[in-house]
Each structure stands twice: as C-alpha cells, then as structure tokens.
Amino acid sequence: MVSRDYSSRMAAALSVGVLVASVQAPVVAETGNKACGLLTASELESTLGVKVSMSGSGSMEDGKAELCTGESQTVTVLLRLAKRTAGTGGDAKAGVEAARTMGAQVDVKVFGPISCSTVVPPASLAQYGFNTTCTVSKSSAVAGVEVVTKTQKDMLSIEQLRPLAEKMVNRF
C-alpha cells in the first residue's frame, strides 16, 4: 500500500515543469487571463488529436502566475504564465529528482529557452497520470504547456509537444 504522504509527494513531483510548487496554491477565477492566450484551441486540437474545452482560467492568489485549464476524456491540459522568480530552476530540478526517487522515469530535454520533460510514474502511482511539459523562459516570465494523460499509450512525446512551446515564444 502506498502511503498518503508518498502519494502526495509523487503528485507534486509529477508536475516537473516551471512552478512546481504552484499546483498546490489556490486558484482565483479571473477573466482576460493571458495564459489562455498562449495557445489556440485549434493548435491544441491538432497536436492532441482531440478537442479540449479550455476553461477554468484563473490566477494564483499572489498574482504571480496565471493558469488556464482544459480537458477531454483522455487528456488534461494546463497552460501557465508566470513572472520569473529566482530559484525556479532549482525547484524544477528538485521536482525531477523527487520523481526519480519515487520510481518515475523522467526525461528532460532543453532547446535554448525551451525546456521539456516527460514523467512516467511507477505502476503504483499511474493513477496520477502520464505527464509531458514544455516551458519557455524569458528574462521576466515563464510560460508552460502541460499535458497529462490517463494512459501511457496516450502520452505525448517531447517532440510532439515542443512545437506548441515554440508557438508560445512570441505570445508573452
């Protein structure tokens, strides 16, 4: 049996991209969210192969990050736009190491300002999903697209998600 603490740490570690800690903070509903403008519905659909209804946009309570979420029967998508703060890179590295320590297979690739990762959890934690994330870093901000699938066969590769990150480069 997997302990609750272990499961909670794995869930946090599975969000390896930028703002690893932000997934635990409360979200406040907001209109005009810039994160929702990072990618269009048609861009997401062409990459994912399914329609994703983007809704539930919001911002972090401290105003340092905006979030936009969407889902279909097979995938959940999270778009993030955040002010860049010191220590973000260390948080992402710590998340990668935590996931590996818990038995996840993690692959990270960097393409200039774009960093992408995949996380395949151990079988005992597969209920948390299979994660592919790409983030784009600029001097004052970081944008990310995260796709979580219920099954490994539906999981996107870094090569499939990277073109979406490339589209985000000039949109924030």
CATH of the domain at 89: 3.40.1000
pLDDT tens-digit series, residues 58-110: 666 567 889 999 999 999 999 999 988 765 566 778 888 898 999 999 999 99
Indicate the pTM of the whole model. Answer: 0.79
> What are residue 136's DSSP bridge partners?
114, 143
Q: Which of 60, 78, 63 is nearest to 147 (CA)?
A: 78
pLDDT digit string, tens, across residues 111-163:
999 999 999 999 999 999 999 999 999 988 999 999 999 999 999 999 999 99
Q: How far is it, in rounded angstroms, from Cα 13 to Cα 104? A: 9
Please give the pLDDT value at position 144: 97
- SS3 of the chain: helix, strand, coil, percent, to 5: 35, 35, 30
Please report, as a single letter, which amino acid is at residue 118.
T
pLDDT at 92: 75
Domain range for 28: 4-168
Q: Which residues contact 16 (CB under 8 A, 6 or more apart)?
A: 92, 95, 96, 99, 106, 108, 117, 119, 131, 133
Question: What is residue 58's predicted lDDT score, i.e. its pLDDT?
Answer: 65
DSSP-assigned letter for residue 155:
P
How many domains, the chain? 1
pLDDT of residue 79: 95
